[in-house]
Amino acid sequence: MQQSMKPSEKLEQVEIKVKVRRFNQERGQYWQEYKLVVDRFTQMTEVLRRIKSEQDPTLAYRASCHMAVCGSCAMKLNNEPRLACKTLALDLVRKYNTNEIVVEPMDFFKVEKDLIVDMEDFYSRMYKVKPRLYPAKEVVENKAEQRLTPEDQKELWKFAQCIWCGLCVSSCPAVRIDKEFLGPAAHAKGYRFLADPRDTLYEERLKVLIDSSWRCTYCYQCFNVCPRDVEPVTTIKKTRAHTKFLKQKSEVAETGEKHVKAIFESIRNTGKLEEAKVYLTTYGLVTSIRDMLYTMRNGKTQLALIKEKKVNEIGQIQKLMGEKE
Ligand code: SF4
Ligand code: SF4
Ligand code: FES
């Protein structure tokens, strides 16, 4: 039986204005606007394809699969890092309550032309973590078979869904300020193999991943923008848990471990985060005195020295932390 369409499902046609931030070597950066009619099926890659084929063959952008698999159409749409093929034009019109859609290349990467960026930096981050499985010799020689258990598969599946689009790296604040940080996508890929019981490079992967994992600021931007729900920040947390297995740790990793321990102790003892004490335990006396002078110069010493009272039912918290019965 044929079902009748609800009024909201009727084919709605809307004229949109697409404002593209363009760039080429000869002209530099400039904005260009295009108008076209879209309906509820029109993906943003289709918008760009129609502009290029019907209005302006000079517009440069990347897209291939049109189904959120190849990772090539990453860009900024109304300032949001998104896959163009996974974004319907009318969804943007409704969300921002305007028929104007602003299209820009991804942040962080160098723009080559219009919406195309140089992904070299992204790929070099990915290759640093050796992004493939290195199985045992017997498996390679076809003398043995090693299968994943359903539990292992469950742990790895989410993190294996990365399509190398670069959106997480383009919006990560830590990669911009810290050259030693590998970035969210490389961590997702690195952990996917670190946690794979069939892989043979565990020690080597620890050396590559642990120091970098402590350089993430936990802002969750990568979690928010990933079009495949990979949750790179979750892989960074999980990687940090392997720090204890690394024999020679960097100063950054050691400080990170101290910080986690200090927070744990503070909550166990008082039920609260005693900022000053946590800072002192993490960074030691000399650094703390130096930073205290900084807070004095900026009139913030009283904030650093707030003394927290223990919560009343501290036993309950300790019980939750598995400390006491
Ligand atoms: S949570 Fe970490 S990896 Fe993710 S965007 Fe923020 S700093 Fe980058
Ligand atoms: S983790 Fe997500 S956002 Fe980052 S490159 Fe992979 S698919 Fe893209
Ligand atoms: S075109 Fe392949 S992910 Fe968008």
Query: How many residues belong to the chain?
Result: 325
293: pLDDT strictly greater than 60:
yes
Best mutation site among 77, 83, 103, 116 for ligand 3, i.e. most ligand atoms within 8 A of its Cβ?
83
- Judged against a pLDDT cut of 90, whether residue 277 lies above it is answered with no
pLDDT score for 48: 98
Per mean pLDDT, which range of 101-105, 242-246, 318-322 is the poorest?
318-322
Please tell me the pTM assigned to this model: 0.90
* DSSP summary character for residue 69: S
Q: How far, in Å, is the centroid of ligand 1 from the Cα of 173?
A: 7
Mind listing the pLDDT tens digit for each residue in 137-148? 999 999 999 999
List the domain boundaries for the chain: 13-117, 120-245, 251-320
Distance of CA 226 from the midpoint of ligand 1 (Å): 11
| Chain-centre distance for alpha carbon 195 | 19
321: three-class secondary structure by DSSP: coil
The pocket around ligand 1, CB under 6 angstroms, is made up of 172-174, 184, 216-222, 232-233, 236
Confidence of residue 274 (pLDDT cuts 50, 70, 90): confident
Over residues 33-48, the pLDDT tens digits come to 999 999 999 999 999 9
Nearest to 295 by CA among 308, 276, 274: 276
pLDDT at 23 over 50: yes
| pLDDT for the residue 300 | 77
pLDDT surpasses 60 at 150: yes
Q: Is the pLDDT of residue 1 over 60?
A: no
- Consecutive H or E run containing 297: helix 275-297
Other beta carbons within 10 Å of 282: 18
For the CA of 171, the closest atom of ligand 1 is 5
Q: How does pLDDT run across 190-216, given as a tens digit for each residue?
A: 999 999 999 999 999 999 999 999 999
Which CATH topology does 120-245 take?
A: Fumarate Reductase Iron-sulfur Protein; Chain B, domain 2 (1.10.1060)
Place of tokens 């010493």: 301
- Percentage of residues of the chain with pLDDT beyond 90: 80
324 has pLDDT over 70: no
Predicted pLDDT of residue 4:
45
Architecture of the domain whose range is 13-117: Roll (3.10)
Ligand of minimum distance to the alpha carbon of 81? 2
**Would the pLDDT of 235 be above 60?**
yes
Find out whether the beta carbon of 106 lies less than 6 Å from any atom of ligand 3.
Answer: no
Inter-residue contact 295 to 303 (CB < 8 Å): yes
C-beta contacts of 310-316 below 8 A and 24+ residues apart: 310/269, 310/270, 310/271, 310/272, 311/270, 311/271, 311/272, 313/271, 314/269, 314/270, 314/271
Interval 63-106: pLDDT, tens: 999 999 999 999 999 999 999 999 999 999 999 999 999 999 99
Which atom of ligand 3 lies at the shortest distance from residue 83's CA?
Answer: 4
The Å distance, Cα 48 to ligand 1 centre, comes to: 30
* Residue from 48, 72, 161 whose mutation best tests the ligand 3 pocket (most atoms within 8 A of CB): 72
Strand partners, 133: none
Residue-wise pLDDT for 100-138, tens only, equals 999 999 999 999 999 999 999 999 999 999 999 999 999
Best substitution site from 225, 228, 235 to test ligand 2's pocket, by max atoms within 8 Å of Cβ? 228
Residue of 217, 220, 230 with the most ligand 1 atoms within 8 Å of its CB, for mutation: 217
- Give the number of other Cβ atoms within 10 Å of residue 191's Cβ: 25
| Mean pLDDT, residues 163-173 | 98
For residue 63, which atom of ligand 3 is closest to its CA? 1
How many whole angstroms from 170 Cα to the centroid of ligand 2? 10
